[in-house]
Amino acid sequence: MWFMRAAEGYLFGALTPSCIETLRGVPMLIESEDERVRARLLPETYEDHESEAHWRAHAAPELERLFVARTVLVRKDLMAMRQLDFDDSGIVLMIPDSHVNAWLATLNAARLALFVLNEMTAAHFERKGLKICTPKQAEAVARIHFLAGMQEVLLGTVDHGEEEDPQTDAAASE
Amino acid sequence: MALSTRAATKEQTKTRPQTKLAAPWNIIVHDDPVTLMSYVSRVFVLVFGYAQDKAHRLMMEVHKTGRSIVWTGAREHAEVYAQKLQAHHLLTTLEVTDV
């Protein structure tokens, strides 16, 4: 996968079939009715039952609506994935600047959902974690790392290489 | 004379309003092994408007000790902040202070 900063957003290219499958699964993970996913995305907030019930009745539905609204934006960008004229290395995803916040939160939610759905622990992410992973968990670790990589790009914690390659922006704006 | 006697025997009652301030609430963010550290810092900046170094310090406290009290204050405000943190999927709880 490559990425570049374009004039109006971020481009991710050379997405493998596995990457595309993972990305297309992101909205479905957020919408999962699995109680482990719902419990993590809408965690218990209060210890006492009365306050918690009030929270469930008022705050949780608002959060659910927000998650849905973000998923709509993410799905829209995923539907627009396409092959660019100047790139022969696969499908390209464009994330507009105005969608970055929605993507960041949604990617985080998807990673959390993968974590709980595959019954993983912190040990699975340690250096020797793959030794204790089932094949399904190992696949989930790879997907979680891939989505983390996208988050890091959007967070700006990855060098965009703009200083080293002044052609990047020009190419992206074509 | 009669008036002064009545005045002397009149029972004087005063009421003093009893006011008690509501206890402040803590917002606690808990560690999870999935969420990126840089993402947590960013959310603290976004939600609370904290400076980068304060956001980083709180994030490190979450990471090293498993939890951090990231804000303390009135319950209504705490609920708004907690909802915003949960909107970004940080594991957040509310608890009343011991005061």
**pLDDT tens digits for A55-104?**
999 999 999 999 999 999 999 999 999 887 665 667 899 999 999 999 99
Q: Give the Cα separation of B59 and B74 in Å (integer).
A: 22
Please name which of B71, B46, B64, B93 lies closest in space to residue A104, comparing C-alpha atoms. Answer: B46
Please name which of A146, A156, A154, A157 lies closest in space to residue A24, comparing C-alpha atoms. Answer: A146
Mean of pLDDT values over A114-136 = 91
CB-CB neighbors (< 8 A) of A109 in chain B: 89
Q: What is the 3-state secondary structure (H, E, C) of B17-53?
A: CCCCCCCCEEEEEECCCCCCHHHHHHHHHHHHCCCHH
What residue has token string 């006697």? B5
Asked if the model's pLDDT at residue A166 lies above 50, the reply is no
- Model's pTM, two decimal places? 0.85
B63: helix, coil or strand? helix
B54: helix, coil or strand? helix
Residue of B25, B38, B39 to mutate for A, most A C-beta atoms under 10 A = B39
Q: Give the Cα separation of B73 and B79 in Å (integer).
A: 10
| ipTM confidence score | 0.86
Q: Tokens at residue A55, please?
A: 């929270």
Residue of B nearest to A103 (CA): B88
pLDDT classification of A135: cutoffs 50, 70, 90 = very high
Asked if the model's pLDDT at residue A162 lies above 90, the reply is no
Q: Which of A23-32, A139-148, B10-19 has the lowest mean pLDDT?
A: B10-19
Chain A contact present for B94, CB below 8 A: yes
B87-96 pLDDT, tens digit each = 999 999 999 9
Chain B contact present for A168, CB below 8 A: no
**Where are chain B's structural domains?**
33-96
Q: Which CATH class is domain B33-96?
A: alpha beta
Q: How far is B30 from chain A (nearest CA, A)?
A: 11
Asked if the model's pLDDT at residue A107 lies above 60, the reply is yes
More confident residue, A89 or A153: A153
Asked whether the beta carbons of residue B86 and residue A43 sit closer than 8 angstroms, the reply is yes
